[in-house]
């Protein structure tokens, strides 16, 4: 599987020292900003507040209850039924959110597993870059 490099932009910076900076791909930004229509305005506000809370507290504080290792070194950030899929960079200083999906069942299905696997491959091969 050949992957195109993923560009990530800073989405949320922690307001407290020792927090985690959230970097997001264009696909994740479209979800969080409500551009793709998956979440409405009230869900968007709750999602941003929750992500800011994670950033301020440091993502590692929320392991493994809300942020769970799913495949290899890939993690799912649980936001109600939505899962942001990404990985950590430089310890827990940065979380790189590459993809997302809506989880409708308790068990992971092939589609979800394929997303986790793809994101883990992006992490493993270094096929991502920060855009400032």
Which pTM value belongs to this model? 0.92
Name which residue leads in pLDDT, 40 or 67.
67
Q: Mean pLDDT in the chain?
A: 91
Q: What is the pLDDT of residue 3?
A: 56
Residue 100 corresponds to which tokens in the numbers above? 């997302």
Residue 97 corresponds to which tokens in the numbers above? 């959110």
Give mean pLDDT, residues 95-119: 90
Is 89 a residue whose pLDDT tops 70? yes
Cβ atoms of 15 and 56 closer than 8 Å? yes
Give mean pLDDT, residues 79-98: 94
Q: Residue 99 and residue 30: Cα distance in Å, rounded?
A: 11
Is 107 a residue whose pLDDT tops 80? no
Cα Rg, the chain, nearest whole Å: 14
- Chain length of the chain: 132
């Amino acid at each position: 599987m050949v992957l195109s490099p993923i560009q990530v932009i800073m989405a949320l910076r922690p307001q407290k020292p020792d927090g985690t900076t959230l970097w997001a791909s264009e696909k994740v930004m479209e979800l969080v900003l409500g551009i793709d229509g998956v979440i409405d305005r009230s869900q968007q506000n709750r999602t941003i507040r929750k992500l800011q809370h994670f950033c301020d507290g440091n993502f590692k504080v929320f392991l493994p209850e809300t942020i769970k290792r799913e495949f290899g070194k890939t993690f799912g950030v649980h936001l109600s039924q939505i899962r942001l899929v990404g990985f950590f960079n430089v310890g827990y200083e940065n979380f790189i959110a590459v993809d997302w999906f809506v989880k409708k069942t308790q068990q992971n299905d092939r589609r979800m597993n394929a997303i986790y696997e793809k994101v883990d491959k992006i992490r493993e091969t270094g096929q991502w870059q920060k855009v400032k």
